[in-house]
Copies of this chain bind each other. A is one copy, B any other.
Amino acid sequence: MKLHRKPIPVKEAVSKVMERMKKNSHERVNLENSHNRYLGEDITASHPIPPFDKSPYDGFALHSTDTIGLGRGQAEEFRVIEQIGAGHRASRPLKKGEAVRIMTGAEIPEGADCVAMFEICQAYEKNGQSYMSLKRELKPGQNVIHQGSETKKGTVLVQSGTKINPGIKALLATFGYDQVKVQRKPKVGIFATGTELLDVDESLEPGKIRNSNAYMITAQVERAGAEAVYLGKLKDDFSTCFEAVSKAAAEMDILITTGGVSVGDFDLMPDIYKELGAEVLFNKIAMRPGSVTTVAEVEGKLLFGLSGNPSACYVGFELFTFPIIQGFLANPFPFRRRTKAYLNKDFPKANPFMRFVRGKVTMRDGKIFASPAGIDKSAVVTSLAETDAFIVLPGGTKGFKLGDMVEVILIEDSGKQEAFH
């Protein structure tokens, strides 16, 4: 069965995949294990911030009415009745003429309404009793951070579907989320197909190569926030492949195969999709590399048939599988950051189809630059190692020149910075 394949534009292919988006289920994890997971609920302020009136400085808490008229030589003596650090409370309300020595972050005692910083006070002892003298007027509320002044109780602080970073983890802790509702990671099964594939620990044999795509895709799946399940290699044998794919499609949330989607005599995936009764969303895209990338759906599960060529496989994953994983994770922004950049090197090849060039982004003087990674033949194998962006060159264009503005998709920030200066 060799279908005539009609290429569709990349944008259309992405839309066809995203239309099949499924909502994932949730689970609860301990706060400690929540880093890099995706929130399954909004974070709401369960109490005001700060939760009480507090002092922003070390000093003396007192009542402003006791300072009226101070200044120009006029000083007032305060009896220092106790001292409180953060986490402690004053044992009783202040009376007129009394002060409490207070540390940063501690609660303003009852009967006080302002704080005099140490620097403007003179502290001394008299008959075993602490005193403090002050020569300035203070206003009500001066040097007090009021309860709820930063955040009111009930405010939604972070949206469901957001990836948990260190700052968000701090928020979760602040508001007592010791268990965090997160999106369950979709299970992504991975098969590498091709009789030419050796295991990584096998010695090279004539005509064969080691299976590298499966390891690469596993890391891409994990980088995308999903759970990668490597299911092994499949030889180019129809019934073995069919059984394996059929079983895995039922067990996984998403299934990825690499290789076998082209039109070669040993490319079995098209026939497998047919035998499975899968609906093929597309099997040809007007793009390079990865034009044979195929996506099919069987019983509600998406099957991604990525190319066996490492670069095409990498690109196909990031363009089509990455955003649907973000969909499972309920990420409201499922696509990678796209921006414009200045081309940092000539790219003389013409682009009959939209081309995704593996590239590297650098930044200089407030501007973004992108260079093709491994444009030289010798760097083909290392180009993916260096890639942190795709340079998107529209179809129907001639070559591009240094300085031309191009579109880039940022894949990962592996920026290199020499030294602090």
Contacts and interface: CB of A to CB of B under 8 A. Distances in A.
A240 B178 CA distance: 26
A377 interface: yes
Contact of A173 (B206, B210, B377, B380): B210
A169 interface: yes
B171 A212 contact: yes
Interface string A150-181: 11000101100001111111111111111000
B417 A333 contact: yes
A232 B26 CA distance: 29
Interface in A382-420: 382-387, 405, 410, 412-420
Contact of A421 (B11, B214, B386): B11
B230 A32 contact: yes
A21 interface: no
B204 A51 contact: yes
A195 B88 contact: yes
Interface in A95-142: 101, 103-107
Contacts of A413: 337, 410, 412-413
A166 B221 CA distance: 9
A219 B166 contact: yes
Contact of A265 (B47, B85, B314): B85
Contacts of A211: 173
A236 interface: yes
Contacts of A415: 336-337, 410
A158 B368 contact: no
A187 B265 CA distance: 53
Interface of A: 10-11, 14-15, 31-32, 35, 45, 47, 49-52, 58, 83-89, 101, 103-107, 149-151, 155, 157-158, 163-178, 194-197, 199-204, 206-220, 222-223, 230, 236, 262-266, 308, 310, 314, 323, 333, 335-342, 363-368, 377-378, 380-387, 405, 410, 412-421
Given A49-B381, A341-B366, 16 more contacts: A32-B230, A51-B209, A52-B206, A58-B265, A88-B195, A89-B207, A105-B308, A107-B207, A150-B380, A166-B223, A166-B314, A170-B213, A335-B417, A336-B417, A340-B365, A367-B368
Closest 8 CB pairs of A and B: A87-B196, A337-B415, A167-B384, A170-B216, A339-B363, A166-B219, A87-B195, A173-B212
